[in-house]
Structure 1
Amino acid sequence: MQGLVLDFGGVLAGPGADTRLLAGVVAAARRDGVRTAILSNDPGGPGAQRLRDLEGTFVDVVVVSGDVGTAKPDRRIYELTADRLGLAPDECVFVDDLIGNVRGAVAAGMVGVHHVDPAVAAEEIAILLDSDGRGSGPRVVEDRGR
């Protein structure tokens, strides 16, 4: 997997999110050469500037549905996001707290991770990206009886 695409609200921020943990996952992915994106169903406009400002600093690409005229779970927004990353959808992992959005990403060709628990999501991302979440490259994930 060469791309990591994350929802903002519910994954990186808001109730149930562990911002520090997932920010570490994003930073490690970038250090490992994985292209990263935020894909948000934010309505756009001036209020979305805080998201747009994350492009180039926190992630490589930010796609705001209100800016592009389509929203999750429409397959076109996943394809557009992958294209902006310079990747095919099947090279990307998509993470969202809403199962319908994850299903939309999978229908577009991405590998989907349904974010319910931040620690579990971080572990699944690490497995899919073949990373330990700290940017030190490939690793073997041990079964801890979960």
Structure 2
Amino acid sequence: MVGLNRSYPEANVPQYLNESGRAMLAAGQTDCLHDAALAHPFLNAAELEAWPGSVTDNSELSKVVHMASPLFREGAPTTPVLLYHAIADEFAPIGAARALAGKYCAAGTPVQRAENPIGEHGTEAAAGLPAALTYLTDRFAGKPAPSTC
């Protein structure tokens, strides 16, 4: 939410959050992703919502998310991609990650998907970090990119 608010100030992201969500947004302005994940493990998106329903199903906020998502942009990377994702991620639903992998695979981009059945958005950022660093180390070392396409 901090990233969306910073990138798209005209969207007024805080309007979609309750008092607790706005406080977290304000307090997290200088956090790196790891700090935020450690500060709020197992955070449920429903705890941040300004009204009943789902933050990710809000049609106005979804417009902002679409602007930020590579799924809705033309083209695909020409370099290999690792997509690691928690299956139960409520902020970035797994279906969108699978669709993005399919889009990239169809374009010929080598994609390695790693889906974690445990955790959610914040915990996966930390849990997936070792695999992401290994993936990058291997690419810089010239090792062939694995693909699950």
Same fold (TM over 0.5): no
Which structure exhibits the higher relative contact order, with contacts defined as CA atoms closer than 8 Å and separated by 6 or more residues? 1
Give the structure with the larger strand fraction.
1
TM norm structure 2? 0.30
Give the structure with the larger helix fraction.
2
